[in-house]
């Protein structure tokens, strides 16, 4: 039975919002989306009725609206068009009956593998496409009504927010030019003087249920729920890309980065320029800049883009002055059910944003990069978890991978494992004249990373010289010997890596001391003591660093 409404005759409503009173980041993002939508409508100059922002400051906004203005507003929020879409297979309804297409088309295509022509039949079906209002204007790849970023947004609307066909009616009705009643229902809720709570479906609020485990219903106040129509226009969409041990990449749902707005007026000024500067390069059929190695990276990337914008505008303004944090919800459509795979939050820290910029820009291997990101957001040591990663991955995907070796070298470089020579960082340890024992003693205290990295490099150098009579200074100008040197060095590093990987605890300690330290090491007495102490007190750390150093030096 429908709820009885207690309404009064009202021509215009003034909806006053303060960020501090709103119950979630989705509501606060929704307020920003409402402001941006109203501002965009004003720029179009074609909307009917009253729909104005009469107050906008850092703390909130006040919206003045009448029923006709509300109709115009929702017509833009749910604007859509009917278009044709190709399908490789015939569609079927829930009863497994074939849905007739508009038409069939047969095409002749070239098979890229065989180089021969083949025929392909596609089925043309009508489909409803959400327009996206001002988001299309902010898509740097936009061409008429299409673009790679607006397509990503439309995909998440159709697959997540409106993943169940019954929830697509507001879009479908407007695409067909049919009369809608959602604005009237919403107006009655907003005009209700009792401000009674109304049902809060998951269509508007990610994670909502009819009732929770304690049988308590999910409800919201009408004027708050009104904001939830707009937060999808502010949340940023990312695509978690997972790579298996064979190097195959699969896309797993969508990661929604929801900004928790701290300064409303400022955020509404800065978000549009941030969106206009997104990259237009494709990776498959998705924007390359939207792909993330782990869902929480969505928050890091959004904070990075906001931070870069603030640096341009203000020079040194803290990101936390603009947003309190970013909530990330990882969702995926499985059949007709929308599954929440994870939800987390990241607060803005400028140092973390800087570290993320270095990691994202300097690393090549997806799983290496993913582990670094996990360590970063969890405030763990940069090398944490790499022992398990390298032990579980096939050799070809770890030390045997050029990208992995590059990343190990880059990570050790970034984390201070390189020795300084003449004021510069150097990796040129193939020639030990770069650092003799006397010079080593003048370095002073260095970290465990640098000690392990140095020990591994000296071991490989001296073993190549004593066992294979190969020395870098003698082969670097001879292409044939150069190749032999590199292959032999890789073979020696591989054998050593596999030996380290198969040992742990005291077994590893004995191997490190008896093998890697079996050659003369140009370390000072102080450095020997520090290395021995780390070896016995933090064995697993030294083991992990040893495997990473072997990857970097192979």
In the DSSP assignment, the letter for residue 202 is T
pLDDT in tens, 245-258: 666 778 899 999 99
Nearest Cα to 373, choosing from 353, 350, 348? 353
Q: From the CB of residue 112, how many other CB atoms can be counted at a distance below 10 Å?
A: 6
So what's the pLDDT on residue 312? Answer: 84
Structure tokens that stand for 431 in this block: 């020639």
Element (H, E) at 409: helix 402-414
Nearest Cα to 550, choosing from 394, 400, 353? 400
What percent of the chain has a predicted confidence (pLDDT) above 90? 55
> How do 219-221 and 197-199 pair as beta strands?
antiparallel
Q: How far from 320 is each of 303, 358, 374, 451, CA to CA, in Å?
A: 9, 20, 21, 38
pLDDT in tens, 58-78: 999 999 999 999 999 999 999
Count of positions (residues) in the chain:
554
User: Is residue 24 within 8 Å of residue 229, measured between CB atoms?
Assistant: no
Structure tokens that stand for 92 in this block: 């079927």
So what's the pLDDT on residue 195? Answer: 76
Nearest Cα to 331, choosing from 201, 154, 157, 128? 157
User: CA 520 to CA 106: how far, in whole Å?
Assistant: 73
pLDDT in tens, 359-415: 988 899 999 999 999 999 999 999 999 999 999 988 888 888 999 999 999 998 877
pLDDT at 422 over 70: no
So what's the pLDDT on residue 64? Answer: 96
What is the three-class DSSP state of 129? strand
Nearest Cα to 276, choosing from 314, 305, 256? 305
Q: What is the dihedral of CA 88, 94, 100, 104, to 10 degrees?
A: 0
Nearest Cα to 329, choosing from 254, 230, 234? 254
Taking all residues of the chain, what is their mean pLDDT, rounded to a whole number? Answer: 87
pLDDT in tens, 233-242: 999 999 998 8
Structure tokens that stand for 77 in this block: 């929020």
pLDDT in tens, 508-530: 999 999 999 999 888 888 888 99
In the DSSP assignment, the letter for residue 319 is G
Contacts of 78 (CB under 8 A, 6+ apart): 130, 170, 171, 174, 182
Contacts of 74 (CB under 8 A, 6+ apart): 170, 180, 182, 183, 186, 229
Q: What is the dihedral of CA 65, 70, 72, 76, to 10 degrees?
A: 110
DSSP 36-60: HHHHHHHHHT---S-EEEEEE-SSE
Task: Please compute the mean of the pLDDT values over residues 525-536 and round it to a whole number.
Answer: 90
Question: For 203, phi and psi rounded to 5 degrees?
Answer: -60, -35
User: Is residue 299 within 8 Å of residue 255, measured between CB atoms?
Assistant: no
User: Is residue 425 within 8 Å of residue 410, measured between CB atoms?
Assistant: no
Helices (H), 232-288: 264-276
């Amino acid at each position: 039975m429908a709820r009885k409404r207690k309404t009064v005759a009202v021509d215009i409503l003034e909806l006053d919002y303060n960020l501090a009173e709103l119950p979630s980041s989705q509501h606060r993002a929704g307020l920003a989306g409402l402001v941006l939508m109203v501002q965009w409508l004003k720029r179009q100059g074609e909307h009917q009725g009253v729909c104005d922002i009469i107050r906008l400051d850092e703390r909130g906004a006040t919206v003045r609206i009448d029923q006709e203005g509300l109709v115009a507003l929702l017509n833009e929020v749910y604007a859509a068009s009917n278009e044709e879409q190709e399908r490789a297979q015939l569609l079927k309804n829930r009863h497994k009956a074939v849905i007739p297409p508009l038409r069939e088309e047969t095409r002749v295509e070239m098979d890229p593998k065989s180089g021969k022509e083949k025929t392909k039949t596609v089925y043309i079906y009508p489909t409803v496409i959400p327009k996206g209002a001002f988001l299309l204007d902010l898509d740097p790849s936009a061409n008429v009504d299409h673009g790679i970023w607006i397509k990503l947004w439309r995909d998440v609307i159709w697959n997540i927010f409106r993943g169940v066909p019954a929830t697509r009616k507001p879009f479908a009705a407007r695409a067909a030019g049919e009369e809608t009643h959602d604005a009237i229902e919403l107006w009655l809720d907003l005009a209700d003087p009792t401000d009674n709570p109304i049902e809060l479906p998951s269509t508007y609020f990610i994670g909502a249920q009819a009732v929770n485990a304690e049988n308590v219903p999910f409800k919201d106040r009408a004027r708050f729920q009104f904001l939830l129509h707009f937060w999808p226009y502010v949340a940023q969409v990312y695509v978690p890309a997972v790579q298996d041990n064979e190097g195959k990449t699969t896309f797993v749902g969508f990661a929604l980065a929801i900004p928790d707005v701290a300064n409303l007026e400022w955020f509404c000024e800065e978000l549009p320029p941030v969106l206009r500067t997104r990259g237009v390069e494709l990776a498959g059929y998705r924007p390359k800049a939207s792909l993330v190695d782990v869902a929480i990276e969505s928050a890091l990337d959004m904070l990075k883009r906001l931070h870069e914008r603030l640096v341009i505008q203000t020079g040194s303004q803290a990101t936390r002055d603009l947003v309190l944090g970013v909530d990330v919800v990882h969702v995926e459509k499985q059949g007709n059910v929308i599954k929440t795979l994870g939800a987390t939050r990241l607060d803005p820290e400028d140092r973390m944003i800087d570290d993320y910029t270095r990691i994202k820009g300097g690393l090549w291997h997806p799983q290496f990069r993913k582990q670094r990101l996990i360590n970063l957001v969890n405030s763990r040591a940069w090398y944490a978890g790499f022992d398990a990663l390298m032990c579980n991955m096939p050799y070809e995907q770890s030390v045997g991978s050029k990208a992995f070796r590059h990343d190990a070298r880059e990570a050790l470089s970034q984390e201070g494992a390189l020795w300084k020579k003449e004021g510069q960082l150097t990796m040129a340890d193939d020639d030990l004249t770069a650092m003799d024992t006397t010079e080593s003693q003048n370095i002073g205290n260095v970290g465990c990373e640098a000690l392990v990295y140095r020990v591994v490099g000296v071991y490989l150098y001296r073993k190549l010289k004593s066992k294979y009579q190969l020395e870098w200074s003698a082969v670097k100008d001879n292409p044939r010997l150069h190749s032999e040197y590199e292959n032999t060095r890789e073979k020696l590093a591989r054998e050593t890596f596999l030996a380290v990987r198969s040992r742990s605890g005291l077994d590893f300690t004995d191997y490190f001391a008896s093998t890697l330290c079996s050659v003369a090491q140009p370390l000072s007495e102080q450095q020997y003591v520090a290395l021995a102490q780390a070896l016995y007190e933090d064995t697993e750390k030294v083991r992990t660093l040893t495997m990473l150093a072997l990857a970097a030096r192979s």
